[in-house]
């Protein structure tokens, strides 16, 4: 990332001092980032991209080319899914005979399960045929209800393998299905998905506005099934957006409100969210790491039981554990948690910007060993 930052700065003809002033950081920090001596978090990358007038993914280098056959398949099918979505807007009638409703529901459930297990290659491969099949029955309520989480899976897979522009199209389809369904909770799910893509690309202001509007609309429908779960999740998303906007007090207030709601609902699985007190704790831990409170994050982590959570949530937890241990200088533990994340969700861990930055930080410290070097090779990180 440091090399990409330096290259873009030099293309602009700017000095380090000028570029750093645009990003609101010291010139010494900018210099250390370019030389690979200072790790960046996801919020700082947004500031650097804005200063250099480029996208976040241009600095992070996504999509990656790791030494992973499954991720290579995922990248190929990501393009196929994008073309399939382009060819099948919900506003046009289908040209193929519809599959049975039962077969579609089974396939939709399978794709959602693959996504929850971080098998993005498997999910994307099946989406190529599932999307046209769902489209052929898009005048039926049961099919529209399945479309919302299926397009959410498409969005998540595309983001996680480094295709945010294509993920945006998946959100468009998700929103259209939710509008046709006329279900306020489904509409909130689609809004949360749009906010996620916006935040992923560093657009925290629009993400924040999107989540706020969705929360306000949902407040009028709290008697609907799972509405309170979605409202709690939107508070988590708003906390993330507020942190990105450097508004720590507002972020904390949303985390507190999410925790209050989770205590009322308990652990639930509506709309594949795995919502509840544990999920809130995982977001609190990530927020503490993002705001430089790694010691507090490790205390929060010690109170979380991740067994029974979907593999994807576990992978996020273990990647954050690694991040915290890197920050605290506990290199051996950091390597152990990185390898744990990779074991549970190899495709996610190997394509994650966070994992790659943690691994690079360990390499810069001179941490050796075949395990870390092997992980770096599988991620395509130069050793």
Mean pLDDT of the 50-73 span: 74
Q: Residue 195: inside a domain, yes or no? A: no
- Give the pLDDT confidence score for residue 67 in this predicted structure: 59
Each residue of 242-256: pLDDT tens digit? 998 889 999 999 999
Report pTM. Answer: 0.85
Using the structure block, give the residue that is written with the tokens 């593999």. 311
> Which of 300, 326, 345 marks a domain boundary?
300
Together in a domain, 8 and 70: no
Q: Residue 244: inside a domain, yes or no? A: yes
pLDDT classification of 51: cutoffs 50, 70, 90: confident
Residues sharing a CB contact under 8 Å with residue 213, sequence separation 6 or more, in sequence order: 191
Distances (CA, A) of 151 to 5, 154, 206, 270: 33, 5, 21, 16
Q: How many domains does the chain have?
A: 4
Together in a domain, 286 and 318: no
Mean pLDDT of the 321-340 span: 95
Each residue of 133-159: pLDDT tens digit? 998 887 789 999 999 999 999 999 999
pLDDT classification of 66: cutoffs 50, 70, 90: low
Ordered alpha helix ranges (H), 328-382: 331-344, 346-351, 353-364, 370-379
Ordered alpha helix ranges (H), 183-292: 184-200, 204-218, 227-244, 248-265, 277-290
Of the ranges 91-95, 183-187, 276-280, which one carries the lowest mean pLDDT score?
91-95
Together in a domain, 93 and 176: yes
- Give the pLDDT confidence score for residue 368 in this predicted structure: 74
Together in a domain, 52 and 78: no
Q: How far apart are CA 298 and CA 114, in angstroms?
A: 30
Q: Residue 197: inside a domain, yes or no? A: no
Q: Residue 276: inside a domain, yes or no? A: yes
Where does residue 105 rank: exposed (0-12), middle (13-18), buried (19+ CB within 10 A)?
middle
What is the domain range of residue 66?
62-182
For residue 61, pLDDT over 70 is answered with: no
Together in a domain, 45 and 122: no
Peptide bond preceding 63 in cis form (omega within 30 of 0)? yes
Q: Residue 43: inside a domain, yes or no? A: yes
- Give the pLDDT confidence score for residue 195 in this predicted structure: 97
Together in a domain, 272 and 322: no
For residue 381, pLDDT over 90 is answered with: no
Q: How far apart are CA 98 and CA 146, in angstroms?
A: 15
pLDDT classification of 174: cutoffs 50, 70, 90: very high
Together in a domain, 262 and 363: no
pLDDT classification of 79: cutoffs 50, 70, 90: very high
> Which of 147, 182, 217 marks a domain boundary?
182
Q: Residue 190: inside a domain, yes or no? A: no
Q: How far apart are CA 135 and CA 143, in angstroms?
A: 8
Top pLDDT among 1 and 79 is at 79
pLDDT classification of 266: cutoffs 50, 70, 90: very high
For residue 224, pLDDT over 70 is answered with: yes
Together in a domain, 76 and 119: yes
Each residue of 346-365: pLDDT tens digit? 999 998 888 888 998 898 88
For residue 111, pLDDT over 80 is answered with: yes
pLDDT classification of 191: cutoffs 50, 70, 90: very high
Together in a domain, 216 and 175: no
Q: b/e for 223-260, b at 16 or more Cβ within 10 A?
A: eeebbbbbbbbbbbbbbbbbbbbebeebbbebbebbbe
Cα torsion at 195, 200, 203, 208 (round to 10°)? 30
pLDDT classification of 95: cutoffs 50, 70, 90: low
Half-sphere exposure at residue 254, Cβ-oriented, CA atoms within 13 angstroms: 25
Together in a domain, 241 and 261: yes
Q: Residue 155: inside a domain, yes or no? A: yes
Q: Residue 230: inside a domain, yes or no? A: yes
pLDDT classification of 96: cutoffs 50, 70, 90: low
> Which of 38, 61, 84 marks a domain boundary?
61
- Give the pLDDT confidence score for residue 62 in this predicted structure: 64
What's the CA angle centered on 24, arms 19 and 29, to 5 degrees? 70
């Amino acid at each position: 990332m440091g090399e990409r930052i330096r290259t873009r700065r030099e293309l602009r003809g700017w000095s380090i001092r000028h570029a750093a002033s645009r990003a609101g950081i010291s010139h010494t920090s900018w210099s250390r980032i370019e030389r690979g001596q200072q790790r960046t978090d996801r919020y700082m990358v947004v500031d650097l991209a804005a200063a250099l007038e480029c996208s976040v993914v241009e600095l992070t280098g996504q999509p990656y080319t790791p030494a992973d056959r499954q991720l290579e398949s995922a990248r190929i099918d990501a393009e196929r899914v994008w073309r399939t979505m382009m060819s099948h807007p919900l506003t046009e009638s289908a040209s193929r005979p519809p599959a049975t409703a039962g077969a579609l529901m089974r396939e939709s459930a399978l794709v959602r399960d693959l996504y929850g297990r971080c098998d993005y290659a498997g999910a994307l491969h099946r989406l190529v045929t599932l999307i046209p099949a769902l489209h052929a029955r898009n005048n039926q309520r049961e099919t529209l209800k399945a479309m919302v989480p299926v397009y959410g899976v498409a969005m998540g897979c595309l983001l996680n393998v480094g295709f945010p522009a294509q993920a945006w199209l998946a959100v468009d389809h998700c929103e259209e299905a939710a509008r046709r369904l006329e279900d306020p909770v489904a509409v909130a799910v689609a809004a949360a998905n749009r906010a996620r893509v916006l935040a992923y690309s560093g657009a925290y202001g629009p993400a924040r506005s999107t989540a706020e509007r969705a929360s306000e609309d949902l407040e009028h429908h709290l008697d609907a099934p799972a509405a309170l779960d979605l409202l709690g999740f939107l508070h988590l998303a708003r906390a993330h957006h507020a942190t990105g906007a450097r508004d720590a007090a507002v972020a904390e207030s949303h985390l507190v409100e999410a925790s209050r709601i989770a205590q009322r609902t308990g652990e639930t699985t509506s709309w594949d969210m795995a919502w509840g007190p544990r999920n809130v704790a995982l977001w609190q831990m990530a927020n503490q790491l993002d705001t430089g409170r790694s010691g507090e994050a490790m205390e929060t982590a010690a109170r979380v039981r991740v067994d029974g959570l979907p593999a994807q949530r576990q992978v996020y937890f273990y990647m954050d554990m690694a991040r915290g241990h890197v920050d605290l200088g506990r290199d051996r533990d950091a390597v152990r948690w990185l390898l744990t994340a990779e074991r549970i969700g190899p495709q996610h861990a190997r394509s994650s910007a966070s994992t790659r930055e943690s691994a690079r930080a360990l390499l810069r410290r001179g941490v050796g060993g075949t395990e870390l070097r092997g992980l770096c090779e599988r991620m395509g990180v130069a050793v």
